[in-house]
Amino acid sequence: MSETIPDIGTLKARLRATWTAGNFGEIAKSYEDDAAEFIDRLRVTPGLRVLDVACGTGNLALPCARTGARVTGVDIAPNLLEQGRDRAKTEGLSVKFDESDVENLPYPDNTFDLVVTMFGAMFAPRPEKTAAELVRVCRPGGRIAMANWIPSGFIGQLFKATTSRVLPPPGMPSPLLWGDETKVRERLQNGTSEMVFARRFISFRFPFAPPEVVEFWRQFYGPTQRAFAALDADGQTAFRKDLEGLWTTHNKGDGGSTLVDSEYLEVVALRA
């Protein structure tokens, strides 16, 4: 079923502003190793044509490029793309970074051997269009690999704490539906021949305690920053208490550090 969203142009402008707020690159650093392991499991080989969708600062694009693959990253946030270019230049890697909309990718049909996305494409407002684009740009026999937060995982709980304080855009389905196997099968069934699912974990590690982690995310994570900005003083206090409670409850760290694992759904679909 196709989702109908009023005033899609305004919504996309709002989403772009959200992801350019703060500095997501600082958040992305906390799971670089897990992103590299995601790519390792895909066994990327030299010369493979890879597209990293909603690439951010290149957490997937760069480890792909290290294998000798021909890599393109695409995202709506120019500030994150610039960081990706700087990271690639520092390592001497060749990665093409493009600014564009996930729902309207600027590439011909059947261009890539592997299309990957980690906690990125799931945030596009119209998942049926996102799914169609992921399939369209992947060649027959190629693979589409996704990492999507699940509703019951830690990040899923953070999202719920946020939406309980700040309402999401009207008509936009929850990004967490991409963490439901049945929903993913429904969305990717047209154009794929098989799908393999696995439950994995990302480990967030910070050298400071949960209250400082909340402040770190408020400063650098666009959605959290904008959620705080939408609340009055009392609302911000209550929201901060909610977030500190979640980070504290799930914290496995000690000595003033924070270690929290968050479960996600790994999807690998074969393009028909």
Q: Place 2 in a pLDDT band, splitting at 50, 70 and 90.
A: very low
- Residue 25 burial by CB count (10 A; 0-12/13-18/19+): exposed, middle or buried? buried
Yes or no: is domain 8-151+169-202+262-271 CATH 3.40.228.10?
no
C-alpha to C-alpha distance for 164 and 228, rounded to whole angstroms:
12
Query: By the 8 A CB rule, do 145 and 42 touch?
Result: yes
Domain coordinates in residue numbering, the chain:
8-151+169-202+262-271
Q: Place 82 in a pLDDT band, splitting at 50, 70 and 90.
A: very high
The predicted model gives 267-271 an average pLDDT of 98
DSSP string, 17-84: HHHHSB-HHHHHGGGHHHHHHHHHHHT--TT-EEEEET-TTTTTHHHHHHTT-EEEEEES-HHHHHHH
Alpha helical stretches, state H, the chain = 8-20, 24-28, 32-42, 61-66, 78-91, 127-136, 154-163, 181-188, 210-220, 222-229, 233-250
